[in-house]
Amino acid sequence: MNAPLIILTISCFVALAMGAILFTIAKTYPKSIRGLTEWSAAALVIGLSLPLFIARGVIPDVFSIVLANLMILIGFMMMNQGVRKFAGALPRSNRVALVLFVLAYVSLFVWFTFIHPNIGMRIATMSAFTLVIILDQLVFVLKKLPPTTGRHILVASLVILIVPRLVRLGGLMLGFDQPVGVFDPSIPQLVYIAIPSITIPLGTISLILLAAEKLHRDLEFISRYDDLTQCLNKKAAMEELQREIAWTKRHDNKLSIMLIDLDNFKNINDTHGHLEGDKVLVDFSGKAKTALRETDRLTRFGGDEFMAILPDTDAEQAKLTAERLHQAGKTGQPIAWSVSIGISEWLGQDDSLAALQTRADRALYKAKAHGRNQTQSL
């Protein structure tokens, strides 16, 4: 058994094993981690193409050359699609261009296999077409994925795929690299066919890391944010408020909080139903975030109770923000809503978190007692 055959056999088993691992992960990870199925299918398709290359001369060329190389192209396209789905990008809309791209690839292989046989041109075709897909994926990864360890390894594996293709294309164009067959033992051919045995495990590691990193981010988000309104939950809110108080004490800054209740929210649920009530909560939180600054944080304590943390803000400035909330409720969707707001300002080094909250709670009670749909401060 010559060296190219050994390398192709190893690459085949590696690709199938990596595909099986990714498929298992795709079945066990939450559906919010998208792209895993495409990644596993890509590795399996590439792995299944390699026995067709190995059977060159034993089975018809339409299978060992045309179909085998088509499977390689499809594998790269599926990998690219998986990365896009993982990042939440919309699928490509120009399907006609994709179909023409694949048809041109197949036509060139048919031409250089049956009409004008030329293995150098077949290698050039495969290198050029897959290079387009890899470069497209590399640009997308660099633009859209956060700079994590998984992304760094994925970028490295893509670069490993790109460089030999550029070298191979350059060698073929300049006449330095003219292979005589798929089992040609020349150094360029050995390097070229050995690439999958390196990049498939490396790429698999990067994809597993990307999925694990996203799962970690999703779990962290779930632990800190309310699922319906996307506001900080009560636990995370208290952590943020404690940090803001520490910063305020250290730098002698201003700080205010607003406790907010949607007026008569129980009546909204009873009259219009809980689904409409949820829509009101979502509408309120969206309009409230618009009324707040980027440095402010809106938090949901539960039910119809919210708190806004307003760094570097005194009570008078907080009242201006509260007025924007009152105005926003008049255009609420699906129904108009109103809020009662209690404001409390940090009083200095002798103040405390408990006292700050107590004053805001008393101010909120005062706003409700005076007829709701208003702001009070203490």
Who contacts 55 (Cβ-Cβ below 8 Å, separation ≥6)? 63, 64
**Contacts (Cβ under 8 Å, ≥6 apart) of 56:** 64, 65, 181, 182, 183
pLDDT tens figures, 288-325 = 999 999 899 999 988 899 999 999 999 999 999 999 99
> Which of 84, 70, 64, 71 has the alpha carbon at shortest distance from 16?
71
**How would you write the pLDDT of the chain (378 residues) with one tens digit per residue?**
577 788 888 888 989 999 999 999 999 988 888 999 999 999 999 999 999 988 988 999 999 999 999 999 999 999 999 999 999 887 766 888 999 999 999 999 999 999 999 988 998 999 999 999 999 999 999 999 999 999 999 999 999 999 988 988 888 788 776 666 666 667 776 777 778 888 889 899 999 999 999 999 888 888 899 989 999 999 999 999 999 999 999 988 999 999 999 998 888 888 888 888 899 999 999 999 999 998 999 999 888 999 999 999 999 999 999 999 999 888 878 888 899 999 999 998 889 999 999 999 999 999 999 999 999 998
295/321 Cα distance (integer angstroms): 13
Strand partners, 59: 56
Q: Give the contacts of 137 (CB within 8 A, at least 6 positions apart).
A: 79, 80, 83, 158
Judge contact between 79 and 42, C-beta under 8 A: yes
Cis status, amide bond into 201, omega within 30 of 0: no
Strand ranges (E), 272-362:
297-302, 305-311, 339-345
Q: Are 301 and 237 in contact (CB under 8 A)?
A: yes
Residue-wise pLDDT for 181-219, tens only, equals 666 667 776 777 778 888 889 899 999 999 999 999 888
Q: What is the rounded end-to-end Cα distance, in angstroms, of the chain?
A: 86
What are the sequence ranges of the domains in the chain? 3-224, 234-377
Which overall architecture, per CATH, does domain 234-377 show?
A: 2-Layer Sandwich (3.30)
Helical (H) or strand (E) element with 257: strand 255-262
Q: What is the pTM of this model?
A: 0.75
Cα(277)–Cα(285) distance, rounded to whole angstroms? 12
209 Cβ neighbours under 8 A, 6+ residues apart: 148, 149, 150, 153
| Burial class of residue 359, CB neighbours in 10 A (0-12, 13-18, 19+) | buried
**CATH class label, 3-224:** mainly alpha
